[in-house]
Chains A and B, each alone.
Chain A
Amino acid sequence: MSERRPYVRAQPRDWWARKPYLGYTLRELTGVGVVVYGGILLAGLISLARGPEAFEGFRSFLTSPLSLLIHLLLLAVMIWHVVTWFQTMPKTMPKLIANGRHVPQQKLTLAGVGIAAVCSAALIAAFLIAGALP
């Protein structure tokens, strides 16, 4: 009767769909959105390599309501990726010390999201400026 009978906590198979793990699952699922967008770009590259007709087909897909819906959805997913990426970043790096004090993680998250916003805005601005040039 001395056999070990350790307690094994039951874990339902759908643990990832329940709180408190749902937030983790939603964060990780942004990876699917990133992959889908990469796939759309790859489809564009394939049609570009095939020639003008194939590329026109790709362009006409991009102007369809379905494509617009997909891209708006992907944009929402990508923005969630930006937020969660910079929420995770301070937890994965060595503690930052400024003026003898730990920089709070919230500040690093805010700085990261701010830098991302500047980068994205700069890229769009570059296209707007290039488009406005004669």
Chain B
Amino acid sequence: MTPHPNPRRSMAPIFWLMFGAGGMLSALFGPALIVLTGIMLPFGLGVPGGFGDYSHVLRFAQNPLGKLIVLAVIALFFWHGAERIFLTLKDMRAGALPILRLATYGVAAVLTLVTLALLLEIGF
């Protein structure tokens, strides 16, 4: 049998890759990030109070490497959750698949673009 000259490609591996990347990133650094941004920086525990200042955080977000970290964390966390929530809602038979896709992948895609736009707006 000859292979189909123009097979229909599935989009699933792309979503799966984003799911895996976000899952691994959050598994490796998620607990530390929550402790840092949710407890240590706001309350000045273990770090100088100035670490969470507007000017300090702005400089981090203006740095190209800082921008990449912010984009990777926010976007990949959204894509990771989107895949999980989509598959779970699908298993729960919560609604029509196009609607579920829009509510999960769609939201993740929009919020990724919003994050990207904000990082560009903040400038270098």
Q: Which residues of B contact A49 (CB under 8 A)?
A: 118, 121-122
B81 to chain A, nearest CB (A): 3
**B111 at interface (Cβ–Cβ under 8 A)?**
yes
| Pair A34/B22 contact, Cβ less than 8 Å | yes
Partner of A42, one of B39, B87, B91, B115: B115
| Pair A37/B30 contact, Cβ less than 8 Å | yes
| Pair B47/A127 contact, Cβ less than 8 Å | yes
Size range of the interface on B?
Answer: 35 or more
**B32 at interface (Cβ–Cβ under 8 A)?**
yes
Q: Which residues of A contact B39 (CB under 8 A)?
A: 68, 71
Q: Which residues of B contact A45 (CB under 8 A)?
A: 61, 70, 74, 115, 118-119
| Pair A37/B32 contact, Cβ less than 8 Å | no
The interface-forming segment of A1-9, A73-81, A94-102 is: A73-81
Q: A31-B84, A45-B61, A120-B28 are in contact. Are A67 and B78 (CB under 8 A)?
A: no
Q: What is the interface size of chain A, counting residues whose CB is below 8 A from a CB of the partner?
A: 50
Partner of A124, one of B27, B40, B54, B85: B40
**B38 at interface (Cβ–Cβ under 8 A)?**
yes
Q: A16-B92, A67-B42, A120-B29 are in contact. Are A59 and B121 (CB under 8 A)?
A: no
| Pair B84/A124 contact, Cβ less than 8 Å | no
Q: Which residues of A contact B23 (CB under 8 A)?
A: 81, 85
Q: Which residues of A contact B29 (CB under 8 A)?
A: 119-120, 123
| Pair B74/A56 contact, Cβ less than 8 Å | no
- Give 3 nearest A-B pairs by CB, closest first: A31-B84, A71-B38, A35-B81
**B contact residues vs A (CB 8 Å cutoff):** 22-24, 26-43, 46-48, 51-52, 54, 57-58, 61, 70, 73-74, 77-78, 80-85, 87-88, 91-93, 111, 114-115, 118-119, 121-122
- 30 A-B pairs with CB atoms under 8 Å apart are A28-B84, A31-B80, A31-B81, A31-B82, A31-B84, A34-B30, A34-B77, A35-B85, A37-B30, A38-B73, A38-B78, A40-B38, A42-B111, A45-B74, A48-B57, A59-B42, A62-B38, A62-B41, A75-B38, A82-B31, A112-B27, A115-B28, A119-B29, A120-B31, A120-B32, A123-B32, A124-B35, A127-B46, A128-B47, A131-B48
